Amino acid sequence: MKKRIQFAVGLAFILLCTMLSLSALGVILFDIFAKGITHLTTEFIFGFPKNGMTEGGIFPAIIGTTFVTLITAIFSIPLGVASAVYLNEYAGNTWLTRLIRTSIRNLAGVPSIVYGLFGVALFVQAFQMGTSLLASGMTLGLMSLPYIITATEEALKTVPKGIKEGSTALGATKFETILLVILPVALPGIITGIILALSRAAGETAPILFTGVFFYQRYLPTSVFDEFMALPYHLFILSTQHHDIEGVRPLAYSTALLLLILVFALNLVAFYIRARYRQQT
């Protein structure tokens, strides 16, 4: 009898916790959706900001976020995947590699503003990129690296040893085995990790704050050395820095909704790729 009461109480507690966290999420989503959908018109999506951002659209911010995320991807994916392959397949298990692994995991916990300031020092000033798409993209790339490396390493670890040996025993070199057998098997996991890291980077404000984002631009960036607008920063400005915060609140909600949709779309792509690869194997 006592056990049954314990079980019932435990179950109720777990259910309550689940409901609480889910409903918090639900309220946020519902709130943003309900208030954001009204302004989400084609003019809002494809238009430029007008009248001190109290009217018009956020097209430059969408383009800016898209481009900066693209640069982040170009910079961090090859570097991250290659690092993980090296750590997992080539490097021995020494105190040095253990130190490197621990450091990478710790880097994932560094506050994003620290990356932002580091990006100013390294990319904007030392490498003389100025405040630009390129500097911001690379700063976000640095921030994404630990996630991509860790996710790739985990994915590589799931590849069965028997498959690697099967390839080796056919006379394949280590490089061929990695490129043609191990990476394809680990690809769904790697891609999921990459997209999660990128969707996080797309929503970041702090790392781009000092490295290239601009609060208002009437033109689109034409080169990687231009400054740019970005959705998360635009949202930040509309919610806290604008002279008429109450007036632009509907626009802020629509911007938030659009950012959510963008991130959701990225995750959907990850889901689709995983499903497709699962079918093949």
Partner 1 sequence: MSKIKIDNISLSFGPKRVLKNVSFSIQPHQIVALIGPSGCGKSTLLRCINRLHDDNDDAKVDGTIFLDGKDIYGPQVNVNTIRRRIGMVFQKPNPFPKSIEKNIAYGLKINGTRDKQVIRAKVEESLKDAFLWEEVHDKLSESALALSGGQQQRLCIARTIAIAPEVILMDEPTSALDPIATQKIEDLILKLKKAYTIIIVTHNMQQARRIADKIAMLYLGDLVEYTDTEQFFEHPAHELAQKYVSGEFG
Applying CB under 8 A, the residues found at the interface with partner 1 are 92, 160, 162-163, 165-174, 176, 180-181, 184-185, 280-281
Q: Which residues pair with 48 in a beta bridge?
A: none
In single-letter form, the type of residue at position 210 comes to F
Cβ atoms 156, 182 nearer than 8 A: yes
Token pair listed for 54 = 């109290």
Closer CB to partner 1, 167 or 199, in the complex: 167
Minimum distance from residue 164 beta carbon to partner 1 (Å): 9
Closer CB to partner 1, 144 or 152, in the complex: 152
In single-letter form, the type of residue at position 189 comes to G
Contacts of 212 (CB under 8 A, 6+ apart): 68, 124, 130, 131, 132, 133, 134, 135, 136, 227, 228
Minimum distance from residue 185 beta carbon to partner 1 (Å): 6
Round to whole Å and give the CA distance between 255 and 59. Answer: 10
Minimum distance from residue 178 beta carbon to partner 1 (Å): 12
Closer CB to partner 1, 92 or 109, in the complex: 92
Give the three-state DSSP class for 250.
helix
Minimum distance from residue 278 beta carbon to partner 1 (Å): 10
Minimum distance from residue 165 beta carbon to partner 1 (Å): 7
Please count the residues of the chain.
281
**Beta strand pairing status for 49-50 and 55-56?**
antiparallel
Closest CA to 253 of 230, 228, 234, 229: 234
Minimum distance from residue 168 beta carbon to partner 1 (Å): 7
Closer CB to partner 1, 39 or 164, in the complex: 164
Round to whole Å and give the CA distance between 163 and 151. Answer: 20
Closer CB to partner 1, 42 or 94, in the complex: 94
Minimum distance from residue 173 beta carbon to partner 1 (Å): 6
Cβ atoms 246, 222 nearer than 8 A: no
Round to whole Å and give the CA distance between 114 and 226. Answer: 23
Closer CB to partner 1, 109 or 162, in the complex: 162
Q: How many CB atoms lie within 10 A of CB 104?
A: 19
Minimum distance from residue 172 beta carbon to partner 1 (Å): 5
Phi, psi of 229 (to 5 degrees): -95, 155
Closer CB to partner 1, 223 or 280, in the complex: 280
Closer CB to partner 1, 40 or 100, in the complex: 100
